[in-house]
Structure 1
Amino acid sequence: MSLLSIRDVRKSFGDNLVLDGFSLEVEPGECVVLIGASGSGKSTLLRCVNLLETVDDGVIELDGTDITDPRINTDQVRSGIGIVFQAYNLFPHLSVLDNVTLAPIRVHGVRRDVARARALEMLDRVGLAAKATAKPDELSGGQQQRAAIARALVNSPKLMLLDEVTSALDPELVGEVLDLLTDLKSDGMTMLICTHEMSFARSVADKVCFLDQGRPLEIGPPAQVLENPAEPRTREFLRRIRL
C-alpha cells in the first residue's frame, strides 16, 4: 500500500485553478521529485498534503487514512509529516536547540528533557551538534537549512516534504543540503521534494513528476522523464532550464 496516495485533487484560489485533478502515489521509502515551472502547483500540492491548504475536491490518504476528511485531527496528521520550506523560518531570538524543541514541547506535549535529547540527536544527525546553543544568525545559510531539516525530523515523521530547500542558498552551500537529503534517502525516509536541482533528481529520485498547469503531465523514473521525456511540454521545460 502506498504511504501517500493523492487522487484527483483540485485546488483553486478564486478563479485561479492551481491543481487540476492531480494524482500521485508515493511508496514507503520512495523519493519523488516534483519539477515544473513556477506556478505549476508544486508548492500548493505540498501545502495540501500538510493540511496548510484545504483541497476543493479529491482525496489525500496518508498511511491509509483519509487526511482530507474534515473531521481529521490536523495536529495529529502534521506530527507525522515533516515540512521544510525554502525560507528557513527559524526564530531568530531562540537558539538552534530551542528552535528544534519548540514544537515537540509546546504542541505535542513532550517532556523537556526528552525533547532536548531527541533534538540533540537530530542536530548531530545533520552535522550541527556543535551549533546547538548558537542563534540562527550565527549560522551559514546551509547550516540554517540543515537546522530546519533537523526541526522537521525531530518528531520521527513518516513523510518529509521539501519545497525548494536549496533555492535561497549560495551555490557553494547547495551541496551540503543535497548530501543530507541523499543520506536521508539512504536511511529509508519517504520524501516528496520540489526542486530545480536536476542532477540531484537524476541521482536520488525513484520517480520524477513533471507538473504542468496543475496536472501531473509525466511521471516516471528519472532516466525516462529527464533524459527521454515522452511529452513535448516536458522536453520544452527541460530545454529551457538547461540553457
Structure 2
Amino acid sequence: MALLAMTGVRKAFGNHVVLSSVDLTIDAGQCVVLIGASGSGKSTLLRCANLLEVVDDGVITFDGRDITDPRVDGDEVRSRMGLVFQAYNLFPHLSVLGNVTLALRKVHGVPDAEARTRGLEMLDRVGLAEKASARPDDLSGGQQQRVAIARALVANPRLMLLDEVTSALDPELVGEVLDLLGELKADGVTMLLNTHEMGFAREVADQVCFLHDGRIHESGTPEQVLGNPTQERTRAFLSRIRA
C-alpha cells in the first residue's frame, strides 16, 4: 500500500485552476521529485498533501486513510508529516535548539528533558550540534535551512515535504543542504519535494514528475524523465533549464 496517494486531485483559486486531475503515489522510503516551471502547481501540490489547502475534487490517502474526508483532523495529519519551506521560518527570538524542539514540546507534548535530548541528537545528525545555543540570525542560510529540516525531522514524520528548500540560498550553500537530503534518502526517509536542481533529482530521486499547467505530463525514473523524456513539453522545459 502506498504511503501517500493522490487520485484525481483538483485545486483552483477562483477561476484559476492550479491542479487538474493529479494522480501520484509515493511508497515508504521513496524520494519523489517534482519539476516544472514556476506556477506549474508544484508548491500547491505539496500544500494539498499537507492539508494546508483543501482540494476541490479528488482523494488523498495517507497511511491508508482518506485525509480529504472533511471529518479528518488536519492538525493530526500534519503532525505526522514534516514540511519545510524555501523561507526557513525560524523564530528569531528562540535558540536553534528552541526552534527544533518547539513543536515537540507544544504540539506533541514531549517533556522538556526528552525534547532537549532528541533536539540535540537531531542537530548532531544535521551537523549543527555546536550551534544549539545560537540564534538563527547568527547562522548562514544553509545552516538555517538545515535547522528547519531538523525541526521537521525531530518528530519522526512518516513523510517529509520539501518546498524549493534551496531556492533562497546562495549557490555555494546549496550543496550542503542537498548533501543532507541525500543522507536522509540513504536513511530511508520518505520525501516528496520540488526543486530546480536537476543534478540532485538525477542522483537521489526514485521518481521524477514533470508538472505543466497543473498536470503531471510525464513521470518515471530520473533516467527516463531527465535523460530520455517522451513529451515535448518536458524536453522544452529541460532545454530551458540546461541553457
Would you call these one fold, judging by a TM-score over 0.5? yes
- 1:235: Cα distance to partner? 0.3
What amino acid sits opposite 2:34 in the alignment?
A: L
Give the corresponding residue for 2:61.
61
Q: Percent identity?
A: 71
Give the corresponding residue for 1:242.
242
Give the corresponding residue for 1:151.
151
What amino acid sits opposite 2:172 in the alignment?
A: E
- 1:224: Cα distance to partner? 0.7
What amino acid sits opposite 2:163 in the alignment?
A: D
Give the corresponding residue for 2:106.
106
Give the corresponding residue for 1:122.
122
What amino acid sits opposite 2:78 in the alignment?
A: R
Query: Normalising by structure 2, what TM-score?
Result: 0.99
Query: Normalising by structure 1, what TM-score?
Result: 0.99
Other structure's SS at 2:192 match: strand
Residues of 2 paired with 1:66 and 1:111: CA distance? Answer: 31
- 1:112: Cα distance to partner? 1.1
- 1:185: Cα distance to partner? 0.2
Other structure's SS at 1:22 match: strand
Residues of 1 paired with 2:72 and 2:115: CA distance? Answer: 25
User: Which string of whole-angstrom CA distances, capped at 9 and with x for unpartnered residues, describes residues 95-142 of structure 1?
Assistant: 001111111111221111111111111111100110000000000000
Other structure's SS at 2:91 match: coil
Other structure's SS at 1:23 match: strand
Unaligned runs of 5+ in 2: none
Residues of 1 paired with 2:104 and 2:71: CA distance? Answer: 23
Give the corresponding residue for 2:40.
40
Give the corresponding residue for 1:210.
210
User: Which string of whole-angstrom CA distances, capped at 9 and with x for unpartnered residues, describes residues 137-161 of structure 1?
Assistant: 0000000000000000011001000
Other structure's SS at 2:33 match: strand
User: Which string of whole-angstrom CA distances, capped at 9 and with x for unpartnered residues, describes residues 30-74 of structure 1?
Assistant: 000000011100000000111111000101111101111111121
Residues of 2 paired with 1:29 and 1:41: CA distance? Answer: 24
**Greater shift after overlay, 161-170 or 68-77?**
68-77
Other structure's SS at 1:71 match: coil
Give the corresponding residue for 1:97.
97
Give the corresponding residue for 2:200.
200
User: Which string of whole-angstrom CA distances, capped at 9 and with x for unpartnered residues, describes residues 71-104 of structure 1?
Assistant: 1121211111001010000001110011111111
Give the corresponding residue for 2:79.
79
The list of structure 1 runs, each at least 4 consecutive aligned residues, that deviate by more than 3 angstroms after superposition, is none
- 1:213: Cα distance to partner? 0.6
